[in-house]
Amino acid sequence: MELVHLNYLEKNEGEGMESIETKRLLLIEYTREMIEATIAGIGELEAVLGCEVSEDWPGIDFFFYLPYVLDNVKKKPEMTRWTRLVILKEENIVIGEIGGQGDPDETGEIELGYSIVPEFQHHGYMTEALSAMLAWLKEQEVITRIFARSFESNLASIGVLERTGFVHQMNEDEVQSGGKITHWEWHKK
């Protein structure tokens, strides 16, 4: 298969798709076509992208969230720019996703979420992806505040947040059925 940025992005050049590239990763807009393909099956997404998709992606939580996302994207197509697939360039494979939990709100606040499949964890990929996403978000004038949440027990995720400059907002922490959720904030510099 061709590299995704030479295949899918080239095929859709001129349609306003903006990718974010790092040394090892390509973050591409998760379009309506891709969302529909993911819901239909990973083979469908691989056909759309022209690259592999990890057999462990998407995780169960993200997968069950997709019909809701698709409904929102049908109403507001431009919201896809806030969520990206994470592609490991060297292996030409989707290894995760990163992005906003919807559009920024009316005050310019956006909550970020991310995940990476277990096989590719602990290699710095998500720190690299989040750093690149933050740099891109910093350039978006509409964004005034970026925040994230993580279970207190998810030390790897907390490490990613700390390494990318997020600050723990202890006064906003909450307890849910799955455990304590910590709140983090990143300030545009």
Chunked into runs of 10 residues, the chain (189 residues) has average pLDDT values of 47 63 95 95 93 93 89 91 94 94 86 95 97 93 91 94 93 80 84
Residue 102 — φ and ψ, nearest 5°?
100, -170
Determine the pLDDT at residue 14.
47
Which amino acid, 141? E
Query: Do the strands 109-116 and 145-151 form a parallel or antiparallel pair, or are they unpaired?
Result: parallel
Those residues whose C-beta lies under 8 Å from the C-beta of residue 35, and which sit 6 or more positions away, are: 66, 69, 70, 73, 80
94 three-class SS? strand
Kindly report whether the peptide bond that precedes residue 58 is cis, defined as omega within 30 degrees of 0: yes
Which amino acid, 89? K
Determine the pLDDT at residue 2.
43
Determine the pLDDT at residue 61.
84
Q: How many Å is the maximal CA-CA distance in the chain?
A: 49
Count of domains for the chain:
1
Report the CATH number at residue 170: 3.40.630.30
Determine the pLDDT at residue 178.
75
Which amino acid, 72? N
The b-or-e profile of 10-39 (16+ CB within 10 A means b, else e) is eeeeeeeeebbebeebbbbbbbeebbbbbe
Measured distance CA(92)–CA(50) in Å, rounded: 9
**Enclosing domain of residue 63:** 4-186
